[in-house]
Chain A
Amino acid sequence: AQSVTQLGSHVSVSEGALVLLRCNYSSSVPPYLFWYVQYPNQGLQLLLKYTSAATLVKGINGFEAEFKKSETSFHLTKPSAHMSDAAEYFCAVPQTPGGFKTIFGAGTRLFVKA
């Protein structure tokens, strides 16, 4: 079964600074990969999805992620943080290719300082 590891349970950046949230996957084949965002007291919302069509994936709210097979990574970035980006971010991967379950990372809480 596949898994994902999110490095850093908390990340704090200043408003306007670069956001970098790390995710490494464990797989022998290029997987589908997802980033979700969760705002307080809400469910999860899809930010972006990697499907092997392109290594650089652009998502909503100015976020993007780059798939690097050599590093087994799928880090999430945003050039300039906004206060409204403060939330919990989850990296996710299918448990098995073509299966039904999704494996979520432990999550990274992003704090944005004024």
Chain B
Amino acid sequence: GAVVSQHPSWVICKSGTSVKIECRSLDFQATTMFWYRQFPKQSLMLMATSNEGSKATYEQGVEKDKFLINHASLTLSTLTVTSAHPEDSSFYICSARDRVGGTSNQPQHFGDGTRLSIL
């Protein structure tokens, strides 16, 4: 089946540092990848849609200068949390959809998430 690898799975860092999270589709090509944020005991909140070779589309209220997204290839998207602060601590999840027939009528394939803790 389609596998999405997300790395790292856990990050603890000091306030003010930048953190990069990688999301890779291992056995399929993903024109579109999605980045979600999940607070404890809550549903997923879509942050941005990452499109290969173009700028990401951010949801309302998400700071694009804070959460930098790069989707340089059909198998890799990265999310960089710049100058992270404690309020950025959260569980971040990426997902991807196969480029073949890749509308929302097809299921998404999720990474295992990254637990980000800012001290």
Contact = CB atoms under 8 A, between A and B. Distances in A.
A100 B113 CA distance: 21
Given A32-B105, A100-B49, A101-B49, A45 B110 contact: yes
Contacts of A107: 42-43
Interface string B96-112: 01000011110111111
A34 interface: yes
B105 A43 contact: no
Interface residues of A, number: 26
A7 interface: no
Question: What interface size band does chain B fall in?
Answer: 20 to 34
Given A90-B44, A105-B43, A43 B110 contact: yes
Given A94-B103, A98-B103, A104 B49 contact: no
Smallest CB-CB A-B distances: 5 pairs: A43-B110, A94-B104, A44-B110, A46-B107, A32-B105
23 contacts: A41-B91, A41-B113, A41-B115, A43-B6, A43-B94, A43-B110, A43-B113, A44-B93, A44-B108, A46-B107, A46-B109, A94-B103, A94-B104, A98-B103, A98-B105, A99-B103, A100-B102, A100-B104, A104-B44, A105-B43, A106-B42, A106-B43, A109-B41
